Amino acid sequence: MLYKVKAKIDKLKMKAFFTALIDGSIAGQEPDGSYIVNAMQKAVMTDAETLEWYQTCHCETPLKHERETVYDKYLHDFEATLVSEEKNDIKGKSFWECLEDRHSGAFDDAFDDELYD
């Protein structure tokens, strides 16, 4: 089943999240690690605290395993809405680019509000 997912980020944990996404620790997680990394590469920051993406999940409770093993460590206030198809309707800044910018030290305000005004 396909879900449109919305969650709030924990800004203080984004460096740790990015490290886990790129060091292979999440990607190596079975059965869904590579799907989590792929979803985060496509996720979009719709404002300074809100992340949105599409993700397929076959759990009875949407994203149950993904949340228990990864997402709940870094994200909160989840909303998962069952959808019939992925659309190009999420607008904002690439979450992955925000993480790269923050991780590289290019600038410290990768998650600041003025980037979304």
pLDDT digit string (tens) for 43-69? 999 999 999 999 998 888 999 999 999
Domains of the chain: 2-116 (3.30.70)
Query: Can you give the pLDDT at residue 110?
Result: 53
Could you say which residues of the chain have pLDDT below 50?
107-108, 114-117
- Cα separations (Å) of 97 from 31, 49, 68? 26, 15, 25
Distance from C-alpha of 46 to C-alpha of 14, rounded to nearest angstrom = 16
Distance from C-alpha of 67 to C-alpha of 55, rounded to nearest angstrom = 12
